[in-house]
Amino acid sequence: MTESPQNRLSASMAEKDLQSVKKSLAELTKSMPFLIGLNALEKKRLTKINTSNKVFVEDIIKTFDLNKSIIPNFISQDEIAKDLTLFHQLDEIEFQLSEILEKVRCTRKLAGSEAYGAALMIYQLIKTATKAGVPGAAASFELLKDRFSASTGRPKKENPAPVQQDQL
């Protein structure tokens, strides 16, 4: 039998709140039309920036004017500076979004766990009631057992007929 579920979460979102969050996310996406997606290979091939090489890029931008004679015209100091500024800005946004996303994931996981844990407990009660011959329990058990087997990946077991009082 499963553990008694601990109800750590008791919340729901009103449909209007859900729509408001979705609208806000759409607006957020619209406010950053430059966002792109990369496939796994592209991500792997990109050079990675970290704290030390970020300082290196900042130093390159500062010394750019001193070395204009050796830097080809197709390399733009302004573009490097824009990229670095966007990196910093997106770093701030990513941090805030990461915190929100982590909380959304944890809350979603807990909500699902509590719902499934309670459902498992109720299923076991119905199964026990069916075995004990409680009137009406068998119909619910029959309805739920195939779904339970499918959700757990366990093969269906044929349930023996409930034990009747006179057989005890």
**In this structure, is residue 167 part of a structural domain?**
no
Number of domains in the chain: 1
Boundaries of domain holding 66 = 42-156
**In this structure, is residue 48 part of a structural domain?**
yes
The residues, ordered by sequence, that sit 6+ positions from 106 with a Cβ below 8 Å of its Cβ are: none
Rounded to the nearest integer, the mean pLDDT of the chain is 88
- Taking residues 98-127, report their average pLDDT: 95
The 10s digit of each residue's pLDDT in 66-94 is 998 999 999 999 999 999 999 999 999 99
**In this structure, is residue 120 part of a structural domain?**
yes
**In this structure, is residue 131 part of a structural domain?**
yes
CA distance 27 to 29: 5
**In this structure, is residue 37 part of a structural domain?**
no
Categorize the per-residue pLDDT at 147 as very low, low, confident or very high, splitting at 50, 70 and 90: confident
Query: What pLDDT does 146 receive?
Result: 83
**In this structure, is residue 166 part of a structural domain?**
no
**In this structure, is residue 134 part of a structural domain?**
yes
Q: Write the DSSP symbol of residue 4.
A: P
**In this structure, is residue 14 part of a structural domain?**
no
Task: Tokens for 15, please give them.
Answer: 């449909």
- Taking residues 107-129, report their average pLDDT: 94
- Taking residues 130-157, report their average pLDDT: 82
Categorize the per-residue pLDDT at 52 as very low, low, confident or very high, splitting at 50, 70 and 90: confident
